[in-house]
Amino acid sequence: MSQEVAVLGVGMHPWGKWGESFVKYGVRAAQDALRDAGLAWNDVDFVAGADTVRNGYPGYVAGATFAQALGWSGAEVVSCYGACASGAQAISVARSRILSGEAKVALVVGADAAPKGFFAPQGGRRPDDPDWLRFYLHGITNPTYFGLWARRRMDLYGATSSDFAKVKVKNARHGLHNPNARYRKEVTEDEVLGSKVVADPLHLLEICATSDGGAALVLTSLDFARKHTTKPVTIPAVSTVTPAFPNTVIEMPNLATDSGASSGPPETPFKASIAKRAYDRAGVGPEDVDVAEVYDLSTALELDWYEDIGLCAPGEAERLIRDGDTTIGGRVPVNPSGGLACFGEAVPAQAIAQVCELTWQLRGQAEGRQIEGAKLGVTANQGLFGHGSSVIVKR
């Protein structure tokens, strides 16, 4: 049996700060995805919602909220929370329902109206919660981890602030013509390096903002899709891996790593295991990738992903950005959408938005940012508390 499902429709509500309910963004994205698929809401028999976030935790049960807003239809529903990886979990459940034959048309929706500034935990004294502990005891925010990983690249591989800034310059240029991007403005390396330092060595323009936005997919079986289109984009694999013990690299929101005292470091570090599982499941490898959408929470983190999704060996990512390999027109463009640098983070929508972009790229519909002849793409993303997220998209 084929392990592929078809992406028959994609839709997004533009990212920004719109000051409205996330439900509206999700509904708009869902309607666009259904229109794109040539289907009606009543055709949908399964809804997978990626839960939105209120102060670090799922505040709304998204699947049913979207189903109600679109008009109760008796469709079955699931709601998923995996922090930044919520969308991949929703895609994964919808895909499984279709492969099992239990669903014919699945709608996957994620949307958020994000608070401004640092994400912070809920109120109250909760010393059992690692997310609360790190803020209270040490004032450790998400950018703290981005800064630690960035400095590590500098000291281990000789990365420079200029290398990091180049990632922002590239992504800003990529997103310039993307109608769904929030920030559509070119920036220079000097402007990046001239912005205030938030978490040394990273500057304000190197750390992604928090945004409002929504994204949706219509997933169906291959047989169903072929009745509606000649050559559908498909998803042959989704990875939702957790780390293998011991996870010896410090991860959000923890105050400490696992101990490698008895077992030594793991064979495959967590971040490198995320896309690997998706490649293995799809029977492809990094050498087959034409385009990637990765989670650039910071400029330096995008470089980590180059290595973790196998585009190059550890320590070689700086060469890729310097040589323009990951720029549109280069060997393997990364974040042609403009990435989080141009979008800002709308947590539960983000992993779904990555698949929207790859679908447009593989269909040849990414106006102003098209990668010619792209046939296979990979997404990579990671959610707080140990949620891997990677999707292979091909045509």
Partner 1 sequence: MSEKTTVAAVEGLLVADPSAPRLLGSRCKACGTYYFPAEHTLCRTPTCSSTELESVELSTEGVLWSYTSANYKPPAPFVAKEPFEPFAIAAVTLEREQLTVLGQVVPGVGVDALKTGMAMELTLGTLHEDDEQRYLTWQWKPVGH
Q: Is 335 left (phi over 0), alpha (psi -120 to 50) or beta?
A: left
3-class secondary-structure state, position 253: coil
Among all chains, which residue has been given the structure tokens 């046939």? 375
Task: Kindly identify the residues of this chain, within the stretch 64-123, that bind partner 1 according to CB under 8 A.
Answer: 117-118, 120-121, 123
Half-sphere exposure of 196 (CA within 13 A, CB side): 1
Nearer to partner 1, 91 or 150 (CB): 150
Instruction: Of 287, 288, 282, 274, give the one whose Cα is nearest residue 351.
Output: 274
Minimum CB distance to partner 1, residue 250 (Å): 5
Q: Could you tell me how many residues of this chain bind partner 1 (CB under 8 A)?
A: 51
In eight-state DSSP terms, residue 179 is T
Could you say which of 248, 284, 330, 386 contacts partner 1 (CB under 8 A)? 248
Task: For residue 246, state whether it binds partner 1 (rule: CB under 8 A).
Answer: yes
Residue pair 94/66 in contact (Cβ under 8 Å)? The answer is: no
What's the one-letter identity of residue 65?
Answer: T
Could you give the 3-state DSSP secondary structure of residue 82?
strand
Using CA atoms, how far apart are residues 153 and 158, in angstroms rounded to an integer? 7
Beta bridge partners of 389: 381
Among residues 186, 194, 245, 315, the one that binds partner 1 under rule CB under 8 A? 245
- Minimum separation from the CB atom of position 254 to partner 1 (A): 8
* Binds partner 1 by CB under 8 A, chosen from 1, 179, 227, 262: 262
Among 83-91, 94-102, 196-204, 213-221, which window interacts with partner 1 (CB under 8 A)?
A: 196-204
Our finding on whether 277 is near partner 1 (CB under 8 A) is no
CB of 138 to partner 1, least distance (A): 5
- With CB under 8 A as the contact rule, the residue among 20, 200, 280, 367 that binds partner 1 is 200
Q: How far is CA 238 from the centre of its chain?
A: 12
Least distance to partner 1, CB of residue 130, Å: 8
Q: Indicate which single residue of 18, 136, 157, 385 sits in contact with partner 1 (rule: CB under 8 A).
A: 136
Site for partner 1 contains 144 (CB under 8 A): yes
Residues numbered 325-354 forming contacts with partner 1, rule: CB under 8 A: none
Q: How far apart are CA 74 and CA 260, in angstroms?
A: 50
Q: What is the dihedral of CA 275, 189, 324, 300, to 10 degrees?
A: -20
| Type and span of the H or E element at 277 | helix 270-282
| Piece of the chain touching partner 1 by CB under 8 A; list 16-24, 35-43, 96-104, 246-254 | 246-254
Look at strands 376-383 and 291-294 and give their pairing.
parallel
Q: Does 255 bind partner 1 (CB under 8 A)?
A: yes
Tell me which residues in 151-180 interact with partner 1 (CB under 8 A): 151-152, 155-156
> Contact residues for partner 1 (CB under 8 A)?
117-118, 120-121, 123, 125, 127, 130, 132-141, 143-144, 146-152, 155-156, 196-202, 245-246, 248, 250, 254-264
